[in-house]
């Protein structure tokens, strides 16, 4: 981590954040700059979506949040603790990371053993690790605890990977493209799970996405990532209806926003819906459907 005078600090505000990425830059060994002057925050009990196309810096950012990568310039704080090599084990107890490729996190003979691996690695007893694993599998709705993980469907594998992180009882869950290769049914199941982790368990969720429709339905706050930095952030109804902003960042309006404009609801001053269900309700209010 660079010294305090080596970088310009992020703008003031957000003192109550639980994650503070303060003007961080990181360059890969081949010279490629993954993120540049990145400022990002996470607050308690929120879902924040990082939206941007492939290569925008989303994955590099989230790997800094649990110390998988360390910044060349700037600093990352989690619950007031600066991330450095001396406290990585403590940071990773608080911040759980689920990779885009769930298969890379599954390697034990059975589902139960896979989910027990993290707690055992933290030094817990077998009984305590089993208790935590069974709780986590119950949260994600997986009952096939004795199956070989690689015999599960893609959606089930993703749920087991999330359970493996939840078993370590993190306070923040960071998920990279959780539904990118899943069918619609399993994608909605993952989406509902992330929402329940916030609502029922008080876990803050950071989710990297390029699915703008999911971002609209799921997130409390949207951060647009472009060129390795956050170029805009705000409420979904503001960010996801800004076509010029999204297009400049290589993204498209979510379907609900596109239909909203196509129906002329913006000209009626109507509120901005964030799901197709909300849009249909709005159309009824304005007499566009019965």
Q: Are strands 221-226 and 95-98 parallel, antiparallel or unpaired?
A: unpaired
End-to-end CA distance of the chain: 60
- Cα three-residue angle 171-177-178, rounded to 5 degrees: 65
User: Model's pTM, two decimal places?
Assistant: 0.89
pLDDT at 14 over 70: no
Q: Can you tell me the mean pLDDT for 14-25?
A: 89
Task: Tell me the pLDDT band of 7, cut-offs 50, 70 and 90.
Answer: very low
pLDDT at 4 over 80: no
Q: Which structural domain range is residue 286 located in? A: 254-290
* DSSP code at position 8: P
Q: Is 124 among the domain residues?
A: no
How many folded domains does the chain comprise? 2
My answer on whether 267 and 205 are in the same domain is no
My answer on whether 173 and 270 are in the same domain is no
* The token pair that represents 38 in the structure block: 């990145």
Q: Is 162 among the domain residues?
A: no
Phi then psi for residue 50, to 5 deg, are: -95, 110
Share of the chain above pLDDT 70, in %: 94
88-114 tens-digit pLDDT: 989 988 999 998 776 667 778 899 999
My answer on whether 98 and 180 are in the same domain is yes
Are 119 and 136 within 8 A, CB to CB? Answer: no
Are 71 and 17 within 8 A, CB to CB? Answer: no
217-243 tens-digit pLDDT: 999 999 999 999 999 999 999 999 999
My answer on whether 208 and 263 are in the same domain is no
DSSP, collapsed to helix, strand or coil, labels residue 160 as helix
My answer on whether 96 and 177 are in the same domain is yes
């Amino acid at each position: 981590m660079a010294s305090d005078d080596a970088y310009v600090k992020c703008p003031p505000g957000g003192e109550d954040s639980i994650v503070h990425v303060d003007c961080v830059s990181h360059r890969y060994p081949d010279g490629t700059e993954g993120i540049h002057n990145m400022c990002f925050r996470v607050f308690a009990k929120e879902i924040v979506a990082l939206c941007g196309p492939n290569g925008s810096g989303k994955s590099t950012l989230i790997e800094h949040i649990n110390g998988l990568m360390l910044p060349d310039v700037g600093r990352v704080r989690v619950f007031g603790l600066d991330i450095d090599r001396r406290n990585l084990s403590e940071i990773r107890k608080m911040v759980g990371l689920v990779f885009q490729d769930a298969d890379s996190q599954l390697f034990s003979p059975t589902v139960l053993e896979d989910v027990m691996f993290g707690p055992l690695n933290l030094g817990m007893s077998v009984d305590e690790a089993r208790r935590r694993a069974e709780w986590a599998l119950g949260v994600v709705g997986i009952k096939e605890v004795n199956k070989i993980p690689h015999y599960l469907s893609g959606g089930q594998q993703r749920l087991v990977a999330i359970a493996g992180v939840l078993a370590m009882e993190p306070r923040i869950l960071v998920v990279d493209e959780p539904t990118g290769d899943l069918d619609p049914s399993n994608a909605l199941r993952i989406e509902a799970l992330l929402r329940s982790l916030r609502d029922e368990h008080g876990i803050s969720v950071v989710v990297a996405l390029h699915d703008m429709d999911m971002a609209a339905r799921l997130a409390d706050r949207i951060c647009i990532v472009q060129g390795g930095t956050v170029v805009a952030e705000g409420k979904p109804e503001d960010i996801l209806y800004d076509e010029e902003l999204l297009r400049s960042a290589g993204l498209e309006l979510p379907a609900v926003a596109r239909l909203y404009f196509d129906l002329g609801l913006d000209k009626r001053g109507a509120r901005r819906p964030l799901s197709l269900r909300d849009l249909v309700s709005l159309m009824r209010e304005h007499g566009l459907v019965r």
